[in-house]
């Protein structure tokens, strides 16, 4: 009991030692800049200008979201949708070696009993 009491009262010493005093920079530049990997290397004029040109699963402009614009044309008007070469939409379209293996009766029984059937 005395050891616990002594440990509680011991001063905590951090395991990491930092070199020098803590100092906050006097001047930090928070002005907006283009990302170094941006394709244009320039910032947009305004958010509205950026949003009018941005794409995220389709155009983000106001005209595309106006009343009645969504669903106005049937999906067939978009043209046929075919996967690219080497891409598949469903696992059933893959070669047979990639198909799901059928469940055995023992596996089905083990799942239904929660594994109790495996214990003898």
Tens of pLDDT, residues 56-106: 666 555 555 555 555 677 777 777 788 888 888 888 888 899 988 999 998
Calculate the average pLDDT of the chain: 79
For CA atoms 105, 107, 108, 113, give the dihedral sign: positive
From CA 74, how far away is CA 57, in angstroms rounded?
A: 17
Is-contact 88 82, C-beta < 8 A? Answer: no
Looking at residue 63, its pLDDT comes to: 54
Q: What share of the chain has pLDDT > 90, as a percent?
A: 8
From CA 57, how far away is CA 70, in angstroms rounded?
A: 13
Q: Supply the pTM of this predicted model.
A: 0.28
For CA atoms 39, 43, 49, 50, give the dihedral sign: positive
Average pLDDT of the residues in 18-43: 87
């Amino acid at each position: 009991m005395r050891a616990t009491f002594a440990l509680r009262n011991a001063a905590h010493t951090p395991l990491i030692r930092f070199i020098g005093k803590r100092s906050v920079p006097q001047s930090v530049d928070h002005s907006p800049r283009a990302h170094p990997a941006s394709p244009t290397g320039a910032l947009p004029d305004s958010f509205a200008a950026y949003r009018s040109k941005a794409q995220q699963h389709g155009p983000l402009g106001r005209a595309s979201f106006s009343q009645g614009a969504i669903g106005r044309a049937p999906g067939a008007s978009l043209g046929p949708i075919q996967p690219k070469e080497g891409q598949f939409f469903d696992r059933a379209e893959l070669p047979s070696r990639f198909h799901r293996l059928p469940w055995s009766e023992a596996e089905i029984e083990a799942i239904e009993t929660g594994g109790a059937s495996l214990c003898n």
